[in-house]
Amino acid sequence: MATFIGNAEARKVSRVIIDAGHGGKDKGAHRGTVYEKDLALKVAFLVEKMLKQKGMPVTMTRRSDQFITLRGRADIANRYNNAIFISIHFNAHTGTRLNGVETYYHSELGKKLAAHVHLRMLSQLQPRNGNTRQRKDLGVLKATRCPAILVECGYISNANERKKCVTSDYHKKCAQAIVDGIWAYKTYN
């Protein structure tokens, strides 16, 4: 549902589900002592804090280093009406030269949300643009009924990018970009 504000159309978003990717026995991507599950949780907590400062209700799929199934994460999101789902990740590849940010969506519901968040990631981080892409194979997005995206915040398999990805400044920039993208999605068509 949307309400009109002047010439802009605002979407009704009553809750943001923040999914810190991986957790527990599922480490996600890793290089040395840098684990995707830990980086994702750090960014997720910052997104939560920033959204709460704006008065937006938030639900976290996990608050600690615990394993939750993909279906379990989607089930949390599917409990709420007018929610959006943001899954936070860091990327890796066997090739060490790949870098940049990517944002995925499953259905048309998530396409505009992905575009808004991705644009802010590019603006905040100035990375290589990995673009937004539809992914039909990502279980967490496929099982989520609300607008849902998966944000890859950088490649930890790239040594130079990994040095950035582990810093608190980079985490803050990622979180701010995600929050700004959510707000743009909520506010503008």
Question: How many domains, the chain?
Answer: 1
Residue 6 lies inside a defined structural domain of this protein: no
Local structure of 96: helix, strand or coil: coil
In a domain, 5, yes or no: no
Question: What's residue 155's pLDDT?
Answer: 97
> Taking the model in full, what pTM does it have?
0.93
In this model, does residue 120 exceed pLDDT 60?
A: yes
In the predicted structure, residue 121 carries a pLDDT above the cut 60? yes
Is position 113 within any domain? yes
Residue with tokens 């159309």: 9
Q: Give residue-wise pLDDT tens across range 38-49.
A: 999 999 999 999
pLDDT in tens, 55-109: 999 999 999 999 999 999 999 999 999 999 999 999 999 989 999 999 999 999 9
In a domain, 124, yes or no: yes
Asked whether residue 4 is assigned to any structural domain, the reply reads no
**Gyration radius (Cα) of the chain, Å:** 15
Mean pLDDT of the chain: 93
Domain containing residue 21: 11-187
Banded pLDDT at 10 (limits 50, 70, 90):
confident
154 falls within a domain: yes
> Per the structure block, which two tokens stand in for 144?
């989520």
Question: For residue 2, is pLDDT > 70?
Answer: no
Q: Is residue 142 part of a domain?
A: yes
- Tell me the CATH number at 84: 3.40.630.40
In a domain, 2, yes or no: no
Among the listed residues 5, 13, 159, 12, the one whose alpha carbon sits nearest the alpha carbon of residue 86:
13
Mean pLDDT of 9-33: 93
pLDDT attached to residue 65: 98
Is the pLDDT at 1 greater than 80, yes or no?
Answer: no
Count the residues in the chain: 189
- How confident is the model at residue 13, as a pLDDT? 95
